[in-house]
């Protein structure tokens, strides 16, 4: 059985994070290859279906109504416009459309009904659909599931200890409750956080410990680097280094081996070489498109050129998250030269051949 640990301590995670970089990368890359195809990356497109005017006070967010930022606000988009954007995303290589609305929580009524219709519409395009709409009740999660929602994003943002320094209008426990409500439906969970908000390394470890303690662990964990926006309380914070992002990705991969780790906000500040190191360390998902809700993102053509240079392939929609290798794929000596590894797609926590496990232990 492929073991997934749910009782990581902050100190254990810190010890991993602070390993010599080459040891950290080797361990993360080894675990990544045991659970995922290292040459496949899931590509999502993020679409802000309702921008600005949010009543919350998240210190990093330009969409908070109380901050004076230059973002253009817009009401909820029409279903036809969202469909057109989804078709454009699909043509550019995305397998998932993530729709974000600047709400504190979902309210039943015409606007939620409109979002449900968006979900149904995109689902018919043979694309995965994700939403991030704020807090969610159990009944609302079930309605989204019935409409065909594939994933729901609700980030923890940071550790429980540092959380109150970032936001006061919603409690850390509220975020966990929404994730629990999503788990009661058949919708997968996407939950991660942001680094570079002034937190300590212990807070990064605490966030990962909280995510890893969820059972099951989130199917997707976005790792964001703070994009400091003028007009927000965090506007003067200096960007983190690429090495911090690489270490965070590698640590996340080790702590949550079956999860897809997504490079999210902050990629515009990363070189191709830096992103390649993140993919090697275990990142296997990105957001494509020129914007992530309101912050800049690399052009999709740049991403596809990077994929070509690195030999990466976009993941097809509805692919099983965790894909342990067959014995033949793990034992490269038995494969004909030049033949691609054979991959099983059994899903979560599948027992692997004992010979393969022994092979992995000796590496």
Asked, for residue 1, whether it belongs to a domain, the answer is no
Place of tokens 């070189």: 271
Active site residues: 54, 58, 61, 98, 130, 190, 262
Provide the domain count of the chain: 2
Q: Do residues 257 and 356 share a domain?
A: no
- Is 131 strand, coil or helix? strand
CA-based nearest residue to 263, from 255, 293, 276, 254: 276
Q: Do residues 339 and 276 share a domain?
A: no
Asked, for residue 320, whether it belongs to a domain, the answer is no
Q: Do residues 42 and 179 share a domain?
A: yes
Asked, for residue 5, whether it belongs to a domain, the answer is no
Parallel/antiparallel/unpaired status of strands 260-263 and 40-50: unpaired
Asked, for residue 149, whether it belongs to a domain, the answer is yes
Q: Do residues 289 and 353 share a domain?
A: no
- Residue 241 neighbours by CB under 8 Å, 6+ apart: none
343: containing domain? 327-361
Q: The pTM is what?
A: 0.84
Asked, for residue 4, whether it belongs to a domain, the answer is no
Give the CATH number of the domain where residue 209 resides.
3.20.20.70
List b or e across 144-162, with b for residues whose CB sees 16 or more CB atoms inside 10 angstroms: bbebbbbbbbbbbbbbbeb
CA-based nearest residue to 210, from 153, 249, 160: 160
Q: Do residues 71 and 171 share a domain?
A: yes
**Residue 130 phi, psi (nearest 5):** -125, 150
Q: Do residues 354 and 223 share a domain?
A: no
Residue 122, phi-psi category: left (phi > 0), alpha (psi -120 to 50), beta (remainder): alpha
Q: Do residues 248 and 339 share a domain?
A: no
Q: Do residues 171 and 302 share a domain?
A: yes
Asked, for residue 319, whether it belongs to a domain, the answer is no
Q: Do residues 46 and 109 share a domain?
A: yes
Does the bond joining 216 to the residue before it have cis omega, within 30 degrees of 0?
yes
Q: Do residues 125 and 163 share a domain?
A: yes
Residue 97 pairs in a beta bridge with 45, 129
Q: Do residues 204 and 279 share a domain?
A: yes
- Render each residue's pLDDT in the chain as its tens digit; 363 residues: 347 999 999 999 999 999 999 999 999 999 999 999 999 999 999 898 988 767 777 877 777 767 767 777 788 999 999 999 999 999 888 999 999 988 888 999 999 999 999 999 999 999 999 999 999 999 999 999 999 999 999 999 999 999 999 998 889 999 999 999 999 998 999 999 999 999 999 999 999 999 999 999 999 999 999 987 788 888 888 999 999 999 999 999 999 999 999 998 878 888 999 999 999 999 999 987 654 445 556 678 888 899 999 999 999 999 876 544 433 333 433 333 333 333 333 333 333 334 444 444 444
Asked, for residue 120, whether it belongs to a domain, the answer is yes
Q: Do residues 285 and 196 share a domain?
A: yes
Contact 194, 229 (CB under 8 A): no
Contact 226, 60 (CB under 8 A): yes
């Amino acid at each position: 059985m492929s073991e997934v640990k749910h009782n990581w301590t902050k100190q254990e995670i810190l010890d991993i994070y602070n390993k010599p970089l080459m040891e950290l990368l080797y361990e993360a890359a080894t675990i990544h290859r045991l659970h995922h195809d290292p040459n496949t990356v899931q590509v999502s497109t993020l679409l802000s279906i309702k921008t600005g005017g949010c009543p919350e006070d998240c210190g990093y967010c330009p969409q908070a109504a109380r901050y004076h930022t230059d973002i253009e606000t817009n009401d909820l988009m029409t279903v036809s416009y969202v469909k057109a954007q989804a078709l454009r995303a699909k043509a550019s290589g995305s397998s998932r459309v993530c729709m974000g609305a600047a709400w504190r929580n979902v309210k039943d009524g015409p606007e939620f009904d409109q979002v449900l219709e968006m979900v149904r519409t995109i689902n018919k395009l043979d694309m995965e659909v994700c939403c991030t709409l704020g807090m969610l009740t159990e009944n609302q999660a079930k309605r989204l599931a019935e409409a065909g929602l594939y994933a729901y994003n609700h980030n923890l943002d940071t550790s429980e200890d540092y959380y109150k320094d970032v936001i006061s209008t919603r409690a850390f426990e509220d975020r966990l409750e929404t994730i629990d409500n999503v788990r009661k439906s058949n919708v997968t969970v996407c939950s991660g956080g942001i680094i570079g908000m002034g937190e300590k390394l212990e807070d990064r470890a605490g966030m990962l410990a909280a995510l890893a303690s969820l059972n099951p662990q989130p199917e997707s964990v976005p790792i964001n680097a703070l994009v400091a926006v003028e007009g927000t309380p965090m506007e003067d914070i200096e960007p983190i280094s690429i090495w911090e992002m690489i270490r965070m990705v590698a640590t996340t991969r080790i702590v949550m081996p079956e999860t897809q780790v997504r490079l999210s906000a902050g990629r515009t500040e990363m070189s191709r070489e830096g992103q390649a190191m993140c993919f090697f360390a275990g990142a296997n998902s990105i957001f494509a498109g020129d914007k992530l809700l309101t912050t800049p993102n690399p052009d999709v053509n740049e991403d596809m050129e990077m994929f070509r240079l690195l030999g990466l392939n976009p993941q097809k929609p509805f692919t099983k998250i965790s894909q342990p290798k067959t014995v033949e794929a793990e034992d490269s000596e038995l494969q004909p030269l030049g033949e691609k590894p054979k991959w099983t797609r059994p899903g979560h926590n599948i027992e692997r051949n004992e010979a393969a496990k022994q092979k992995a232990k000796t590496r």
